[in-house]
Amino acid sequence: MRVVFCGNPEFALPTLEALLVSRHDVVAVVTSPDQPQGRGRRLAPMPVKSFAEQRALRVLSPAKLKDKDFLESLRELRPDALVVVAFRILPREMFSLPRWGALNVHPSLLPKFRGPAPIQWTLLRGETETGVTIIRLTEEIDGGGMLAQQRTPVQPYENFGALHDRLSIMGAGMLVEVLDKLDAGEAVEPLPQDDSLATPARKLKSEDFQLDFRQPARDIINKIRALSPSPGAVAQYGYYSVKVLDAEADGEVSPMQPGQVKHNQVAIWVGTADAPLQFKTVKPPGKREMSVADYLRGRPQLPDCFY
């Protein structure tokens, strides 16, 4: 098949790599224009664009996906399918252009967690199972017919980074399998989603990053996992703040009031609605991530509570 790949972040790279070693032909890569990144907010290419340029692939970076010149460039490429991974919302003029439409790799068990942050919400909600769904895009966001779906357990130790990487590799293999079947003439009938079971996975806001120690320890740990290693869940009181990247409930510590802080030379505990929480890995402002023992060697001025 002649394939046009559409994607931006690192999550999309395994699928693009899998396509390049498959029997299918990636005739172009579509990415967003360079974006402000880092502390200096300098314009820089997205990971997919950098990878594509290193491989000497044709790259298209339209500011608007309805641009007439861009759409004409797509038509001239004569794609059999668009492959879309962590990109933008495609207009009908674009996803209806190829023979097989636009195939999307979505890291959730659709119709669960439709939206831009399905992995984070899977962890925030404490789900014990997740997966990847390959859908054919329609105008309804993440609501298209399902061409393939694969389930996998969420391991208790997995944070966002680990689950992100694992699902990206899983989705890459599934996508190539779907293309192989379509190319071989095998019937792959899209299975309609049950909209009554749909749940949202909206983009996280800055206030979602704040830890509330009035919640149960398990809910707090879920938030820490969902935001680790980046952007990091924030424990804050007044001017003091630290990002918590790993923590565990500690039932051997004496009961503590929600938000109450205790520490010794190598450990920090904070009270929650039930079991005290022990911080394991933290990231102070402007510094690298480190163990709590290393953090405490710097003698930070810890607050007495997080209220």
Distances (CA, A) of 60 to 68, 96, 176, 275: 13, 18, 22, 52
* DSSP β-ladder status, 268-270 and 81-85: unpaired
CB neighbour list of residue 145: distance below 8 Å, 6 or more residues apart: 135, 136, 138, 189, 190, 191, 192, 193
Span 205-226, pLDDT tens digits = 999 999 999 999 999 999 999 9
Q: What is the average pLDDT value for the chain, to the nearest integer? A: 95
Is the torsion defined by CA of 211, 213, 215, 216 positive or negative?
positive
Chain centre to alpha carbon of residue 246: 18
Distances (CA, A) of 236 to 211, 213, 243: 8, 10, 9
DSSP-derived secondary structure letter, 277: E
Span 265-283, pLDDT tens digits = 999 999 999 999 999 999 9
Span 122-140, pLDDT tens digits = 999 999 999 999 999 999 9
List per-residue pLDDT tens for the chain, 307 residues long.
999 999 999 999 999 999 999 999 999 999 999 988 777 778 889 999 999 999 999 999 999 999 999 999 999 999 999 999 999 999 999 999 999 999 999 999 999 999 999 999 999 999 999 999 999 999 999 999 999 999 999 999 999 999 999 999 999 999 999 999 999 998 788 999 999 999 999 999 999 999 999 999 999 999 999 999 999 999 999 999 999 999 999 888 888 999 999 999 999 999 999 999 999 999 999 999 999 999 999 999 999 999 7
The answer to whether residues 27 and 2 touch, using CB atoms and an 8 Å cutoff, is: yes
Residue 253 confidence (pLDDT) = 84
Q: Which residues of 256-269 are buried (b: 16+ CB within 10 A; e: fewer)?
A: bebbbbbbeeeebb
Measured between alpha carbons, how far is 256 from 187 in angstroms, rounded to an integer? Answer: 60
pTM above 0.85, yes or no: yes
